[in-house]
Structure formats: structure tokens, C-alpha cells
Amino acid sequence: MDIIDHLIQLAQIQGEIHTHCLFQDHWRVENPKNAARPQGAFHILLQGECELWFEEQCFLLQAGDIFFLPKGQLHRLQNRGFRAELANPPCILERSSAYQTVANGDGEAKVEMFCGEFLYNPPATIIENLPDYLHFSLKNTPLTALISLFKTEAEKARFAHYSVINGLSQVLFSYILRIYLADNPNTIGILTALQDKRLSACLQAILLAPEKPWQVPTLAELANMSRANFLRVFQQKIGVSPTKLLMQIRLQQAALLLKQTQGNVLNIALSVGYQSEAHFSKAFKAVYGMPPSVWRKTG
């Protein structure tokens, strides 16, 4: 497992496609932010073109495009040149075990699109280090084959239909990260800092062994830098101090263990580097809003 895989695991990301859209003529779909559960929204345009409005900006989506909002912000989709008086509201044509198919008429669709989401448990370092939105074309990328698989599954429900659709969504998230990192090598955050030769060793140490009593001098030594220079570069590249990042990773690792294991709170606290259950519980509640024992039941 590499570092990015580990960050995905810590965020407990699960992907799913919930809607297959078949639209013609005039249509509009409002997508409110889901306050009930943290999620990132994505749309994959398979055929045609449409507009996506987000924060008073209009983005043109064409066949082969994907638009991803990591924090699932309010947005809407509509045909180009939308006229409300001519629009037919979408209705559900079919429900499968994986998603629903919606259309706004009986004729041939001019726009075909998949809408989905990535669920995660906040705070999630990997989500927090992404921009407000990502928009790029999947044409001439390995994702072309992935989208073909999505379409194949959409056309006919098969054995393990739900598992295949959601498994493909997980792969999609990983590829989105790859494309983002390749196109944005100089942005601030842990994702790009992992590619910095000066910081990669100390970041791997924090991420893969957060339970160890890491101190700034030790981390600076791993980076082959002076303490002062290390702190300056770390803050500059990642946006938080080494101590703050270590705390974030420890708590996210603890949250994962609380959800996926039956270990008691004290043992989990010790396993992620805390010396007492009281200290751990106080830190956990400050970030997650409730004690670890309560979060385990509701998170």
C-alpha cells in the first residue's frame, strides 16, 4: 500500500453511482449540498453537452468530461440555452440495485450522464487537500476503458452489479487523484508535498507510523534540513505544522480503528501514539465533536 492508498483508507472513502441520466431538449437538475452525510459529488458526461453552474460560474461539459466537487457543494446541471418554460422535469424510468435511471421524455436522449458520489468520514486529509472543484476530459486517458465498463453495466444488470459499479467508482477516485497531481505539481498540500524529495521521507514516517513519538528534530533529520528550515518549508508546502499533521493522522487512524475493529478505546489510543485514554478522548472530541465511544456507535 502506498501513501495515497493509505490516505484514501484513512478517509474511509466509498464510491457509488446513484443516477443514470437520459435527457433531451430542455432540462435542469438542482444538486443541493447533502448536510446529512459528507460526500463529494461527481458527474461523467457520456454523450452530448451541458452546462454546470457552480458559485455563479458556468462550466461547459462535453462528452468524455468529468466534473468533481470534493465537498459536494451546491450546483446545478442544465442544457445549453435552458428555457424554464420549455423544460420537462425528469422522472424515474427504472431502479436497479446500484442506481436509478431518470429521463425527461420518451424520445432519443441527447445527453447521457452518470451522477455519483464519494462518501467519506471527516476530517479527511485527502479531501481537504483537494480544490473546490476538478474539471477535465477523460478522453485519451486510461479512464476511457473505465467509462466503457460503466456504460456496459448501465445497459444491463448482471451478477454482482452493485459491487462492480461501486468498485469502478473506487478506481475512478484514484485516477482522479493521479490526473490532479500530474496537472498541478506546485499546489500547496500533502498530496503534492509527497512528491517533494525533501519532505517525502518525513511525511511517509508520519503517515505510516503515526504512533511513534515523532519530534521536529527527528523529522528535520529525515528531511536532511535544519530545524528552522524544515519548519519553514513544511508549513509553506503543506499549510500546517508537523505537530498538527501528526495529530490529524493519529486521530484519523483512530477513527478507522474504532469503526473497523472491536478494540477498546484505551488500546486504540495507545496504538496511535497517545499515552492515556483521557488525553486521547479529549483530543478526539475536540475534532469529531463527541467522545470516541459515542462516535463508534454513530460514525
Q: What pLDDT is attached to residue 246?
A: 97
C-alpha 68/C-alpha 136 separation (Å) is 9
For residues 81-93, give the mean pLDDT.
84
Q: What pLDDT is attached to residue 85?
A: 87
pLDDT level of residue 96 (50, 70, 90 thresholds): low
Q: What pLDDT is attached to residue 1?
A: 53
Q: What pLDDT is attached to residue 154?
A: 67
Does the pLDDT at position 221 exceed 80? yes
Q: What pLDDT is attached to residue 137?
A: 93
Q: What pLDDT is attached to residue 165?
A: 77
Q: What pLDDT is attached to residue 254?
A: 97
DSSP string, the chain: --HHHHHHHHHT-EEEEEEEEEE-SS-EEEE---SSS-EEEEEEEEESEEEEEETTEEEEEETTEEEEETT---EEEE-TT--GGG----EEEEE-SS-EEEES-SS--SEEEEEEEEE--SS-HHHHTS-S-EEEE-TTSTHHHHHHHHHHHHHS--TTHHHHHHHHHHHHHHHHHHHHHHH-TT-SSHHHHTT-TTTHHHHHHHHH-TTS---HHHHHHHTTS-HHHHHHHHHHHHSS-HHHHHHHHHHHHHHHHHHH----HHHHHHHTT-S-HHHHHHHHHHHHSS-HHHHHHH-
**pLDDT (tens digit per residue) in 76-86:** 999 999 998 88
**pLDDT (tens digit per residue) in 258-288:** 999 999 999 999 999 999 999 999 999 999 9
Beta bridge partners of 8: none
CATH number belonging to the domain at 191-298, selected among 3.40.50.300, 3.30.160.250, 1.10.10.60, 3.30.1330.10: 1.10.10.60
| Residue that wins the pLDDT comparison between 54 and 92 | 54
Does the pLDDT at position 141 exceed 60? yes
Q: What pLDDT is attached to residue 298?
A: 83
**pLDDT (tens digit per residue) in 227-252:** 999 999 999 999 999 999 999 999 99
Q: What pLDDT is attached to residue 157?
A: 67
Task: Return the domain boundaries, the chain.
Answer: 3-183, 191-298
CATH annotation of 3-183: 2.60.120
Q: What pLDDT is attached to residue 111?
A: 96
Percent of the chain scoring above 70 in pLDDT:
97
Q: What pLDDT is attached to residue 37?
A: 75
Per-chain mean pLDDT for the chain: 90
Q: What is the pTM of this model?
A: 0.89
**pLDDT (tens digit per residue) in 159-179:** 777 778 778 888 899 999 988
Q: What pLDDT is attached to residue 148?
A: 85
Cα separations in angstroms, 230 against 195, 204, 239, 242: 16, 15, 13, 9
